[in-house]
Chains A and B, each alone.
Chain A
Amino acid sequence: MDAIVVLLAAPLAGAFLSIAAPRLAVVASALVCVVAFVAIGLLGAEMLELGPAIVVPGNWGVPLGIGLEADGKAVAFLAMTALVMAGVITAASVEFAPGSGRRSFGFWPLALLLWAAMNAMILSRDLFNLYVGLELLTLVAVGLVALSGKADALAAALRYMIFALIGSLLYLLGVVMIYGAHGMLDMGLLSARTPAPADGLALALMTAGLAAKTALFPFHVWLPPAHAGAPAPASALLSGLVPKASFLIALRLWSEAMPDIVRPEALVLIALLGAVAVFHGGLLALRQVRLKLIIVYSTVAQLGYLFLIFPLAGGEGAAQPWSAGAWSGVTFHAVSHALAKAAMFLAAGLYMRAVGSDELGAIRGLARSMPMTTFAFGLAALTLMGLPPSGAFTGKYMMITAALASGQWWWGVVLLGGGLLSALYLYRPLEALFDGEGPAEIIRPRRREELAPLFLAAAAILLGIFSAVPFDLIYVGRPDAAVTGL
């Protein structure tokens, strides 16, 4: 269907336009937003009726052609990307107003290319095409980290790039081995392949590469300096969106392309790394004194939750009745985390500009002078803690249900413990914001800069309240047994 092609072409076209005519960058971005929302709406409506949409551009049949496919999860991730982009574009239209120097010239094409890379990775099912998407996403993300041009930002970008390039090469090596053994790269075809001895090693290499890009513990050390050093709108994209793409690919590999060769111990190992990330990130977040670093370590922890799905929906679990609930749960969780995390970074950027620092001591009492931003921050905190009625609560609830149904209650304990920890580390900035009168003189944000985080944080809450439509949508493309089971 054409909507899929539009979703790939529109951000690319916007990126080119914003380089060719930098003054039109914001207009181009807003236009891409409108086009993307319409396309996603049409795609979602079509899918609810007809099931997953598949496009093979150029009419070259798979395996020679490259298949693009939108199933329920894909549309949820596409919508997540579009919503976060819309919020960030709104906020960045002030900070990166066209004509205000090198940074603003760089931001718009990078942001739109990031969007194109996200959409490509969400829609593609070809392992090599995914490699190209992965690299595009990485290079753009590195560019966003380096945007300020300061020495520490450049060092963070370089460190990120070293990790990301090692990840890409590991992934590519796995892809090469798969091609060598089977002569095909399409996930759908691979699921019906005759298993080869090298499959296990190839899957391990690809997973390690993707884990490095998703900042799964212990590959997370590059993330805090990179995400904290970028300007707030860039951090919102980097933390909210970028790791989700590589996570989605890893999960698709384990549950759709090659579930037959997956060993249960491997699934437990991945989930254990996720569980360690939840507690490690949470404990480090408790010890930070800068708001942005608290948010960054919270990303390390929240990304850990995502990996708890592997023993629930990967390998043999992929065909079990609880896997549908686990997939929906993790999708809800990923989407609401993206929205809330982007809102939080945008709010943190406004505090930082208002008082010139993001140390907890400096932002003390800002709730009084910046009530709307603080309300958005509070809503986002509610989501990250996983409290009702947020979308993250729905996600956690479904993941815990799946964990109990599959007899693996201990992953539920990790989910609950992590939620408790996030309440602890988010209490500190909230307590600071509401404490005292606050500084008399601050640099006030523009109205639309305050509305953007509020819009994102509210979307994360509304996702939990109106969860029925997204719920039906995510199920599209699941095997029947997995849908009706629970």
Chain B
Amino acid sequence: MSADAYAVTGAILIALGFYGLVAAHHLLRRVVAFNVIGSGVFLHLGAYATRYGPPDPVPQALIITGIVVALSATALAVGLVVAHALASGRVALPEEAEDD
């Protein structure tokens, strides 16, 4: 039961994150949305680990690796957002309106 609760929470996070990634224009918001989706996917994967019998250690190893990858992607994205803001004075992509 509790594993399913984690899986459902993961699914909700994924949905929220995708909405944010597509609907938000502010680039930092999009970076945050990407991380929300990532957390949802990892939660989902973690829920699988306890679904049948004794906990399966492989998903934990995958999640740790995934978190490292997501962290690197976030670092690069934030770096690009800052560089783009300094070079263009904008926090959204060129053809998109800046929301606040």
* Chain A residues packing against B (C-beta within 8 Å): 64, 128, 131-132, 135, 138-139, 142-143, 146, 149-152, 154-155, 157-159, 161-162, 165-166, 168-169, 172-173, 176, 179-180, 183
Contacts and interface: CB of A to CB of B under 8 A. Distances in A.
Contacts, number: 80
A92 B36 CA distance: 39
Contact of A146 (B34, B62, B83): B83
Given A158-B93, A179-B59, A149 B87 contact: yes
Interface of B: 14, 18, 21, 27, 30, 34, 37-38, 41, 44-45, 48, 51, 56, 58-59, 62, 65-66, 69, 72-73, 76-77, 80-81, 83-84, 87-88, 93-94
A168 B41 CA distance: 11
Contacts of B83: 146, 149, 154
A146 B80 contact: yes
A149 B82 CA distance: 11
9 closest cross-chain pairs (CB), A and B:
A151-B87, A151-B88, A180-B48, A154-B84, A176-B45, A135-B69, A169-B37, A155-B94, A165-B34
B76 A169 contact: no
Nearest to A184: B58
Given A155-B93, A176-B45, A179-B62, A139 B72 contact: yes
Given A146-B83, A169-B41, A158 B27 contact: yes
B44 to A, nearest CB: 6
Given A139-B76, A169-B37, A162 B21 contact: yes
A281 B74 CA distance: 32
Contacts of B77: 158, 161, 165
Contacts of B80: 142, 146, 154, 157-158, 161
B84 A158 contact: yes
Given A151-B88, A154-B83, A176-B48, A139 B94 contact: no
A169 B31 CA distance: 13
Given A135-B73, A142-B76, A149-B83, A172 B27 contact: no
Contacts of B59: 179
A171 to B, nearest CB: 10
B45 to A, nearest CB: 5
Given A128-B62, A154-B87, A161-B80, A183 B56 contact: yes
Given A128-B65, A162-B21, 10 more contacts: A64-B58, A139-B76, A142-B80, A152-B94, A165-B73, A168-B73, A173-B14, A179-B59, A180-B48, A183-B58
A176 B41 contact: yes
Contact of A155 (B21, B62, B84): B84
Contacts of B84: 151, 154-155, 158
Counting chain A CB atoms within 10 Å of each CB, which of B14, B27, B56, B66 scores highest? Answer: B66
Contacts of A154: 80, 83-84, 87-88
A409 to B, nearest CB: 39
Nearest to B69: A135
A169 B38 contact: yes
